[in-house]
Structures are given as structure tokens and as C-alpha cells.
Amino acid sequence: MPTHSSDPHTVRIEPAPLQNTIVAQGGDAAAASLLQRAGFIPDGDAHRLPDTVTADADQRWHAHHAYVDLTGSGYHVHLAPELHPTGPEMAALPLLVRPVSHAVSAVADRLATATHTRQVDRLLSEFTAPTGVLSASADVLRTIATWWNRLGEADDAHNSALLEQLADEIDTLAAKTDVLRTRLAGRYAPHPGYNARVTTASATEARAHAAGTTSPAHRQAAAGASAPPPSPPAASGRPQPPAPRAR
């Protein structure tokens, strides 16, 4: 049985012979996203390949796909030796491509430090614009729906229709969010909470600097630094006695 890993930065990908599948243990939420991107599905606290992925070559392909994405994102991955791809399979291995979600997460990081409504308005428009992220997401679902419907089995038309419905809901959400974005754009003002933090930090630094420059230690150090160096003793005409010898 695969061993469990509780380290959020370590993932173990190993066969589960009794289930005839591949199981991935460990990692955090970001690792789970990468595993699902590689074709794994949630299974309790772990992830596994679907029951329909039974061919050894297919299992190795998905396992190595996960390995490439996880190691490329900084995770330590233990990949069972039997899951390493063979020579002919190397040509079909996936290339490391940065997940689209990383770009969206970067927007959230920028929003967290925004100090003016114009900054948030501009970033939010990337999602709500007619060609923005939300509209593009709806288009992706519709494209998948068309592709899925052509698989030709009984449930495919139903699942395709569900995707179309979800795409319509995303369009509705985009329109509602754009109304809110327009309201925010009309404010055009600095954020008092964020600016207050910046102002407070600046005032604290100024007070610390002022306190340091008026402290006795600072005045003494400044006086010592500005005082001229002591003059050497004036030479007299009388010879000086020799220094005593060390015994």
C-alpha cells in the first residue's frame, strides 16, 4: 500500500496494486490543483487516477505529468521507479506549462496591496470586460460542451447541456460584477484604510528618527564625530627620558 505523507511540500506517487491504479499522497491545496491538472481525481485525503486509466503506459504518462508539474512548482516528489517513462514514451511526455490559475492568483496579490480605486478598477476589468477572464471562461465551457456532446453516448448530451448552463451563469456573473466595477470606478478615491497604514508607518519612522537624533547617546556620538582630532603634544627643546626597559 502507498505510504502516507503529511508534509505539505512532499508528494508521493505510487501504485496501489489492489485498486489497479496510481495514488498520490501528501501536498497542499496547490499540489492538489496540479494533480488534478495531471488527470488525478480526489479520493479522500489523497488523489488517484480514474478507474478507466488501466494501461501501464497511460498510468506512467499521468504520473510523470504530475511529477513534472509538481517538481517545477517546487515540491519534493517521490515517484515510484516503475512509474518512470520508458524510452518510446519520452516523446509523448508533457512539457511544463505554468497553470493559468497562477496568473489569476497574481492579480489577487496585486489587489491585496492596492491603495486607490483606479488600481482595483483596472484589475477587475480584466475579469468583467467582454473579452475578459470570465467571458473567456464561459467560452471554454461552451467549447468543451460541444466537444463532449460529440462523444456520442447517452449521458453526453445531458452533461454538455449542463456545461452550457454553467457558461450562461458565468456570463450573468460577469455582467453583475461589471455593474459593481462601474460603481467602484465612479468613486475614484484612495483607500483610507490602506493609505492610513502607509501614513502611520511613515509617521512611526519619522518619530523614531527624531527620537534617535535628540537622545543623549546620539548627541554625544554626533559631538564626537564633529570634534576636531586632538593636536599632538608640542615638541620641546629638552630631550625626553628613554622609556624604561621591560624586565
Question: Is the C-alpha dihedral spanning 152, 156, 161, 165 positive or negative?
Answer: negative
Q: At residue 228, does pLDDT exceed 90?
A: no
Largest CA distance in the chain: 120
Q: At residue 31, does pLDDT exceed 90?
A: yes
Whole-angstrom distance, CA of residue 157 vs CA of residue 149: 5
pLDDT category at 215 given cuts 50, 70, 90 is very low
Q: At residue 26, does pLDDT exceed 80?
A: yes
Strands of the 46-48 sheet, one edge to the other: 41-43, 46-48, 21-26, 10-16, 76-79
Tens digits of per-residue pLDDT, 48-75? 999 999 999 889 989 998 998 899 889 9
Whole-angstrom distance, CA of residue 247 vs CA of residue 60: 85
Q: What is the pTM of this model?
A: 0.62
DSSP 9: T
Q: What is the pLDDT of residue 243?
A: 54
Helix (H, G, I), strand (E, B) or coil at 15: strand
What mean pLDDT comes out for the span 210-237? 49
SS3 per residue for 34-98: HHHHCCCEEECCEEECCCCCCCHHHHHHHHHHHHHHHHHCCCEEEECHHHCCCHHHHHHCCCCCC
* pLDDT more than 70, % of the chain: 71
Tens digits of per-residue pLDDT, 92-130? 666 556 677 778 888 888 888 899 999 999 999 999 998
Tens digits of per-residue pLDDT, 152-204? 998 999 999 999 999 999 999 999 999 999 999 888 889 888 765 544 444 44
Whole-angstrom distance, CA of residue 103 vs CA of residue 133: 11
- C-alpha dist (Å) from residue 110 to 106, 128, 131, 135, 231: 6, 17, 21, 21, 60
